[in-house]
Amino acid sequence: MDVRSAVSTPVTQYTHRRSKSYGRNFDATSRFGYTPGQLTITRIQTSRETAKARKLTEKVDPEQLALLVKKEWKLSYVTPLYKFRHTQLKIYSRHLSAFIMAEKQQGMAVEVGLEAGFKVTFSTVLGMAETKDDAETVFIQIHNKPVFASEGDAPKVVWSGWLTCINGDPEYLQALPPEFVSLPLFCSSGAESLTFMVKSWFERTFDCSFGSMGLDPTDLHWLAALWTGCHSDNNIRSLKLAWTLPSQPPLDVSLTVNAQDAWDLWDKVRQQDSTDNSISIEEVKRFITGIESHFFRHFKVYLSAGVLKKVSTALGSVHLDGKIKITCSDYMITVLTLLTECAILRTPILPGLF
Amino acid sequence: MIEASTLPGLGGAADCSNENDSSCSDLSNKSLRIAENAKKKRQAEAPLLSALKYFSQVKTGTPRNGNDELNGYLEQVEREALAQGLSPEAVSIMLEFAMSLRMTSVISARVLRFLIPASVVPQEAVVRGFSWLCMQKLSQPTQVLFLRWVLSMFDMIDSKDNLRAIYGFIFSFVIDETMCPFICHLLYLLTLKEHVKPFRVRKLLDIQGRMGKQPFLMQLLALYKVFCPEMVTLTMPSKMRAGFKNHNSTWKAALAALQKRNISKETHSMELTLGVRQHPHRRKRKFHHLEVPALTPMMESSRSNSRKGVCLQQLSSFAELLDNLNSIELPAQMGSLLSSALALHYLDCVQDESAFLRLNFWLGHALHEEFLFGPVDGSSESMAEAAHFLSMLVSTQHFLQEGFSSTEGFLYKFLTMWDGFLHRPQILELLSDIPLVPSSYIKDVLFEPLMQLYFTSSVFFKCSVIECLTSMLRKWLTWHSVCAQEEGLDISLNNRSTMSLSLSGFLDSVLKLVQFVGRLTSVGLQLERGHTLLLHHALGFYETVSDMFLKYSLPLFVMLPPGVFFPALLATDPVSIDRLGYIMFRYRQNLTSAKEQQKKQRELSLHINRSVYKEFNTYLVAMVAHLWNSKSFSPRTGIEVSEALLERTKVADYSKSFDLIHHPAFLNYAIDFHQQCWPERTDVDLNSIKAGKYWDWYVEFLFTQGFDGLRDFIKVNINQASARQSSGQPLSQPAQPSQPTAVASSSS
């Protein structure tokens, strides 16, 4: 028996080598056994919770929160960051500053840590995360001190951006090895050139990839419905919608619905379902169809033939090509949950791993 | 000095052997010439020896003008150097002489210009050269000339460790504006990680401040950054010229000649230098996701611990890779490993799962952005770039003999929206690399989208799909057979439940694939009216399928469908029938050996469905009836056509029309044979071939035409002895082929 076990040891080691399959890492026994269906699973939500007003200011530093609202953010998705550590933000600040300086002065070498025109600060927005799987939000600001500024002048914020993950799909997040931090949603505001530099620094440092994140008309439908649903607690003033119709030349239609009217319609649509806390995609569809058929009755134009491009209320606005503005932090979590979902949906999912 | 004298002699001997290579035609001449050369050498050696002796001993301040002795020796050494190159000792002596400035700089410069080493430059000579340089006595042009010489001969310096030891001294010359470019180049060649120090970085930055963005400073700083990215942050301007200038103009011709002479002496080591796959100056696109990132080391802070490893871009050969295999650090971006062949070798050894995940995220992102999310950019450049990227991916996966899971995930999505035309060759290649797909969802992710494309595309697309699936099946089977060998996953040995479970999973998937291709080929052949090319691709697939048990030790037997069998049997080209014969032969071999194994090991559940034997026998009967017995369309042959219908074809003797003589595929062979047998006969009566030994001869004749598959089939399935017995009637003899029935009976 001893001989047998001595022989079998190297065999198992060898097996281990063979089982390496570039991400589809199964040992021979489980290789065929991984759960089917996950590959084709449609991770698109068909129902979500209603937007509940949440005083985020109680959880999150109001000063930090103020930086996130009332600004229009350009959305991107990011693949998981490799070896990103929330404890090393100071070092990252220094490195990104130096990187930007070097990029700005193409070709001139720059010493790290030198007082430079650009100053980057990384910070954690504590309390934004919703579940234990969500990584804490990271906020980045770039300040620039103009060349001819006087001594007392404070550096101006020229760019800001943040990486976040709110209510991310737990199955996906838990499947990631611990070296990875998933902050799939990246919002940026500021000069394109700086955004590009920040992205390339992240790509080089954390071996991740960025892609711009356009939204789906359905996402806009969801947000229109979710925001309208808040009207009873928080006045949305009006629901503004903008479509583009594929006529020659393209026809832009913008429609402003009185807040109360919108809410009444939503309430009618909702009444058919008794469950209070969740909204189904059918309700959202009925709501949008209601608005569209109302428009048809007056103008004889089928809005459903076009594409909903923009939705805005007093709580925030969203554009199809991936721009969002959140005006009221109370409903922020709902919106960010939806956007995190969109971002994870864009991330390349590896069959067999997730 | 004695050594110095012997070495050139050795060099000469080697030389003359080279000459022999080119003129070895005459052996008697050869020995003569060797003797003559050796004699010449001995004569030449003596004056060279005394010349070297002179240069090693000559005192400072010896007059130059009118010094005939000096001129004579100089010419002597120069001639020798340019013709043969100088031995290491001679190089040392002459370099010492030149650098010590014992005569004027003019003489020193002249010596440096002809200082061509035959083999190597001793490192000590160069170190001494630098110590003379430190004396600051040399004129500026001579200093530069010396540095240029060192740079030109750098690869011939025997070792560099002592030169690296005086790195600091060499570095101190960067402040000299004329020498700076050359010093930077030399430092670039010498720098190791431990040489990169903050004060040196500061110095270089300082010089850059004064001199501006000089390419040589940039290059050196870039190298420093490679070693210590945390010490210097630097971005290359997009249009920077790569590399340093060549300074070897003075010695170029002589060195080239020397290299030519030495070329046969050197054993060529296969070098896998970095960057072989890099595309030269590609146009920058708005979206850069298809660019393979550059190899850069990880940032200091994100390294796991203080363990210092070797970064991949420091390695330039496979041997170096092997030496450092255990201390190589993964690069900052895993995608960069796809940039070079050497890095791919390393990738094959990487065990780190996170590393593959990083690579897959990057690759998946690139593929998704380019082909799924991105706006369609139909410009020819971007098409070419995408095709190049995919081809790179194909060759990478072939190299690794494995598909990336991100490619797999991408393909499943892409297949549903593919038009079957965009980058077809690459997409199908990638598709064939997909590792085994579990049978539970193989239909949804693979079969459904492929089927839609297959039935709506041209016959050529159909052929390439079948080819792709054949290749996929082969890869799966190969994977299985390798696995079975390595893990003892052998049907006869293994009875652990997990393994047999995985084996059944594997069998399920393979069965699904074979059945799927069966449907595709049957219906495809019908749609394309038995297109010959498609038929051949189908037969190619079944050549693999028929051999699964013997060749890949997979206990799975699936017969080819009638939709492929009969078109092949009734095809108008003999190659199809020949291939069919081979396939049937292999099926028989596989079934028989499975049966034997089954008998040997009773306890084994090597289950072969009885219907497989039944199908096989039906086909066998059909084939023999058609080709051998002239009983086409008779009952029990698989195709039964009502007699009324056959009468209406007005073919007189329809039952004979598909035997080996009358079969449209063999008709011209039969006529050929007929002419050879009866050259004088003007009326062709093919039926006379059937008579007696002519039939045997005819069959032999067919075998000589290269129908090996047919031969194998006939040899195994038809009892030739009985054929000879009833010699007059080959039609009737093997009415019931004995062996196939044996197979059938023993199965029951």
Do residue B230 and residue A20 have CB atoms under 8 angstroms apart?
no
Cα distance between residue A294 and residue A298, in whole Å: 7
Do residue A177 and residue B354 have CB atoms under 8 angstroms apart?
yes
**CA angle centred on A287, ends A283 and A290, rounded to 5°:** 135
More confident call, B80 vs A145: B80
Report the percent of chain B where pLDDT is more than 90.
Answer: 26
Per-residue pLDDT band at B16 (split at 50, 70, 90): very low
Report the percent of chain B where pLDDT is more than 70.
Answer: 80
More confident call, A275 vs A222: A222
Residue A333 reports pLDDT greater than 60:
yes
Do residue A207 and residue B333 have CB atoms under 8 angstroms apart?
yes
Specify whether the CB–CB gap between B218 and B185 falls below 8 A: no
Q: Chain B residue closest to A83 (CA)?
A: B302
Q: Which pLDDT does position B487 carry in this prediction?
A: 54
Residue B179 reports pLDDT greater than 50:
yes
Chain B interface disruption, residue of A18, A207, A215, most B CBs within 10 A: A207
Cα distance between residue A34 and residue A354, in whole Å: 10
Specify whether the CB–CB gap between B479 and B473 falls below 8 A: no
Q: Strands B328-329, A323-326: parallel, antiparallel or unpaired by DSSP?
A: unpaired
Q: Which pLDDT does position B349 carry in this prediction?
A: 84
Q: Which pLDDT does position A284 carry in this prediction?
A: 93
Q: Which pLDDT does position B279 carry in this prediction?
A: 42
User: What pTM, to 2 d.p., does this model score?
Assistant: 0.70
Q: Which pLDDT does position B41 carry in this prediction?
A: 63
Residue A101 reports pLDDT greater than 90:
no
* pLDDT (average), residues B348-354: 83
> According to the per-residue pLDDT averaged within each range, which of A51-55, B436-440, B646-650, B668-672 is highest?
B668-672
Q: Find the DSSP H helices in A32-158.
A: 62-68, 89-104
The beta-carbon neighbor of B234 closest among A14, A102, A204 is A102
- Number of neighbouring beta carbons within 10 Å of residue B703: 15
Residue whose entry in the numeric block shows the structure tokens 């052997």: B17
More confident call, B687 vs B476: B476
**DSSP letters for A284-353:** HHHHHHHHHHHHHHHH---GGGSEEEEEEETTEEEETTTEEEE--GGGHHHHHHHHHHHHHHHSPPPTTT
Do residue A15 and residue B487 have CB atoms under 8 angstroms apart?
yes
More confident call, B504 vs A235: A235
Q: Which pLDDT does position B44 carry in this prediction?
A: 62
The beta-carbon neighbor of A80 closest among B201, B361, B412 is B361
> According to the per-residue pLDDT averaged within each range, which of A69-78, B133-142, B244-253 is highest?
A69-78
Q: Mean pLDDT in chain B?
A: 79
Coil, strand, or helix at residue A219? helix
Report the percent of chain A where pLDDT is more than 70.
Answer: 79
* pLDDT (average), residues B26-32: 57
Per-residue pLDDT band at B665 (split at 50, 70, 90): very high
CA distance A264 to chain B (A): 38
Which residues on neighbouring strands pair with residue A319, listed in sequence order? A310, A323
Residues contacting A174, CB < 8 A, separation 6+: A133
Q: Strands A238-245, A251-258: parallel, antiparallel or unpaired by DSSP?
A: antiparallel
Which residues on neighbouring strands pair with residue A307, listed in sequence order? A244
- Number of neighbouring beta carbons within 10 Å of residue B330: 25
Per-residue pLDDT band at B693 (split at 50, 70, 90): confident
Q: Chain B residue closest to A96 (CA)?
A: B233
Q: Which residues on chain A are in Cβ contact (under 8 Å) with B405? A: 21-24, 350-353
Whether the complex's predicted ipTM is more than 0.90 is answered with no
Residue A338 reports pLDDT greater than 80:
yes
Do residue B234 and residue A95 have CB atoms under 8 angstroms apart?
no
B619 CA to centre of own chain? 41
Q: Which pLDDT does position B485 carry in this prediction?
A: 63
Do residue A107 and residue B406 have CB atoms under 8 angstroms apart?
no
Phi, psi for A313 (deg, rounded to 5): -135, -175
| SS3 assignment for B472-521 | HHHHHHHHHHHHHHHHCCCCCCCCCHHHHHHHHHHHHHHHHHHHHHHHHH
Specify whether the CB–CB gap between B409 and A349 falls below 8 A: yes
Express each pLDDT in A30-57 by its tens digit: 222 223 333 333 356 778 888 777 788 8
Do residue A352 and residue B405 have CB atoms under 8 angstroms apart?
yes
Q: What is the DSSP letter of B272?
A: -
Q: Strands B328-329, A118-125: parallel, antiparallel or unpaired by DSSP?
A: unpaired
Q: Which pLDDT does position B382 carry in this prediction?
A: 83
Q: Chain A residue closest to B303 (CA)?
A: A83
Cα distance between residue B293 and residue A215, in whole Å: 28
Q: Does the CB of B501 have a partner CB in chain A at under 8 Å? A: yes
**CA angle centred on B379, ends B374 and B382, rounded to 5°:** 60
**CA angle centred on B16, ends B11 and B20, rounded to 5°:** 145
Residue A100 reports pLDDT greater than 80:
yes
* pLDDT (average), residues B254-271: 57
Question: Would you tell me which residues 99-128 of chain A have a C-beta closer than 8 angstroms to some C-beta of chain B?
Answer: 99, 101-103, 106-112
More confident call, B329 vs B244: B329
* pLDDT (average), residues B34-42: 65
Q: Which pLDDT does position B19 carry in this prediction?
A: 41
Q: Does the CB of B438 have a partner CB in chain A at under 8 Å? A: yes
Q: Which pLDDT does position A271 carry in this prediction?
A: 67
CA distance A199 to chain B (A): 12
- Number of neighbouring beta carbons within 10 Å of residue B197: 15
The beta-carbon neighbor of A207 closest among B240, B362, B486 is B362
Q: Which residues on chain B are in Cβ contact (under 8 Å) with A96? A: none
Specify whether the CB–CB gap between B77 and B69 falls below 8 A: no
Q: Does the CB of B354 have a partner CB in chain A at under 8 Å? A: yes
Q: Does the CB of B231 have a partner CB in chain A at under 8 Å? A: yes
Do residue A207 and residue B358 have CB atoms under 8 angstroms apart?
yes
Question: Would you tell me which residues 226-285 of chain A have a C-beta closer than 8 angstroms to some C-beta of chain B?
Answer: none
Q: Chain B residue closest to A90 (CA)?
A: B301
Q: Which pLDDT does position B666 carry in this prediction?
A: 93
Q: Which pLDDT does position A149 carry in this prediction?
A: 55
CA distance B409 to chain A (A): 6
Residue whose entry in the numeric block shows the structure tokens 């010959």: B532
Do residue B409 and residue A91 have CB atoms under 8 angstroms apart?
no
Question: Would you tell me which residues 42-101 of chain A have a C-beta closer than 8 angstroms to some C-beta of chain B?
Answer: 79-80, 82-83, 85, 88, 91, 95, 98-99, 101
Per-residue pLDDT band at B30 (split at 50, 70, 90): low
* pLDDT (average), residues B66-77: 85
